[in-house]
Structure 1
Amino acid sequence: MDHNAAPAYGLWSLVIINSLVFIIFAFSFTKPRTSRDWRSFGAFSAFLVALFTEMYGFPLTIYLFSGWLSQRFPGVDFLSHDAGHLLEVMFGLKSNPHFGPFHILSNVLIGLGFWLLASAWKVLYAAQRTHQLAATGAYARVRHPQYIGFIMIMTGFLFQWPTLITLVMFPVLVFMYVRLARREEQDARAEFGEAYSHYEANTPAFFPKFGVKSHA
């Protein structure tokens, strides 16, 4: 890690560009339509803005913990971009953090999350057009693959760049997604009746049973 790197913050153009890129990318997969869709997407977007604000704009977490971090990890320039990968620093990994285990895990989770969003949207969009129950593809494994996708992406970013704000936001957003999922299930029961009850009884909500397919 380069301890003499120039400060990498105050780059507000990068905050805006990165936020827009990921938000538009996610929007292209989810295409929110209802107020419920917009709430879930809006909360996810807020998470991304908070993340990139600390990643490139103002490192609030590093400033608040600067005293402890400097004592615990002497010689580390916490105003360098590399030091913002706090998990790599805390575990004493000296290599380029962009090729470290936490960053690799982050990329895998983010990539899988976006893949899940895309694949789930195709199934959901087709089902909505024909007013049928979405029960194929990712929906054959879990009832709420899109929410799982959002959670995987947020988890990936936390491994890459943990901050106080996003760590506080994460459990709140997970709780919100679970509540939204329960409301969607109520609506689906009302619309599809016994067909959804059968699907619900055979398909887990969030944790797939690999090797076991839904009988919906």
Structure 2
Amino acid sequence: MTQSDYGLWSLVALNSAVFILFAASFSRPRSWRDWRSFGAFSAFLIALFTEMYGFPLTLYALSGWLQSAYPEINWFSHEAGHLPEMLFGWQGNPHFGPFHLISALFIGGGFWLIASAWRVLYTAQSSGELAQTGPYARVRHPQYIGFVLILTGFLFQWPTLLTLVMYPVLIWMYVRLALIEEQETRAAHGEDFDRYAARVPRFVPSLSTPTRPS
């Protein structure tokens, strides 16, 4: 490992700040539950960029097996952190590898979904109505799905032991928050929410043409 590969703590701080602020500008957390879930999401990003630019803990932990199974690869180079490309024998620049491109689609799609859903939710809440249009016409919790898409995208790009452990914990947290929010929304909107919930799935988006709310 050379100094140019890792130990770049300024890049850890910069990338963490950029992605966290970018996500915050889309999701606009307000309640303490919003901030708690966003804090866990931020911790995931910090752990990710720490291994990406600061200290490659996963590569050190797996170095014995990796060097024995793939002796032709310099596992302490920065490119080796793109584990899927390395393990599947991608010979080109890992930034243009199939897993990295899939990652970009997931991350970009996740941010787009969060932004689109927030605009609809903000407009509905400002008028005291139930959000039922845009992404909310196909799924009841598009913002949480957006965050999961982003987390999944980063795992395709740069999986680490710590983020793999955090991933199911974050999904469990989002599911729990979604169920709590549904209880609160049902209390506020009553039968309107029940009709909406009967028409729109909770987490798996509907691929059929959404019906207009009555």
Short-chain TM bin: over 0.9
1:75, CA displacement in angstroms?
2.0
In the other structure, the counterpart of 1:9 is 6
1:6, CA displacement in angstroms?
6.7
- The 3-state SS of whatever aligns with 2:102 is helix
User: Match of 2:164, as an amino acid?
Assistant: L
The answer as to whether partners of 1:120 and 1:139 remain within 8 angstroms in 2 is: yes
Question: Equivalent of 1:146, from 143, 147, 167?
Answer: 143
1:169 paired to 2:159: no
Question: Equivalent of 2:90, from 71, 90, 93?
Answer: 93
1:189 paired to 2:172: no
- For residues 102 and 163 of structure 2, the distance between their equivalents in structure 1, rounded to whole angstroms, comes to 18
1:200, CA displacement in angstroms?
0.4
Instruction: Using the aligned pairs only, state the percent identity.
Output: 63
- For residues 20 and 30 of structure 1, the distance between their equivalents in structure 2, rounded to whole angstroms, comes to 15
* TM-score of the superposed pair, with normalisation by structure 2: 0.97
Runs of 4 or more above 4 Å deviation: 4-7
In the other structure, the counterpart of 1:53 is 50
Q: 1:48 to 1:214 in 2, by over 3 A?
A: farther
| Equivalent runs, 1:62-211 vs 2, <5 Å | 62-211=59-208
In the other structure, the counterpart of 1:22 is 19
Q: What is the aligned residue count?
A: 213
- For residues 16 and 196 of structure 1, the distance between their equivalents in structure 2, rounded to whole angstroms, comes to 42
The answer as to whether partners of 1:113 and 1:148 remain within 8 angstroms in 2 is: yes
- For residues 151 and 214 of structure 1, the distance between their equivalents in structure 2, rounded to whole angstroms, comes to 26
User: Match of 1:181, as an amino acid?
Assistant: A
- For residues 109 and 18 of structure 1, the distance between their equivalents in structure 2, rounded to whole angstroms, comes to 18
- The 3-state SS of whatever aligns with 1:55 is helix
Unmatched segments (≥5 aa) in structure 2: none
User: Match of 1:83, as an amino acid?
Assistant: A
1:43, CA displacement in angstroms?
1.0
- The 3-state SS of whatever aligns with 1:143 is coil
* TM-score of the superposed pair, with normalisation by structure 1: 0.96
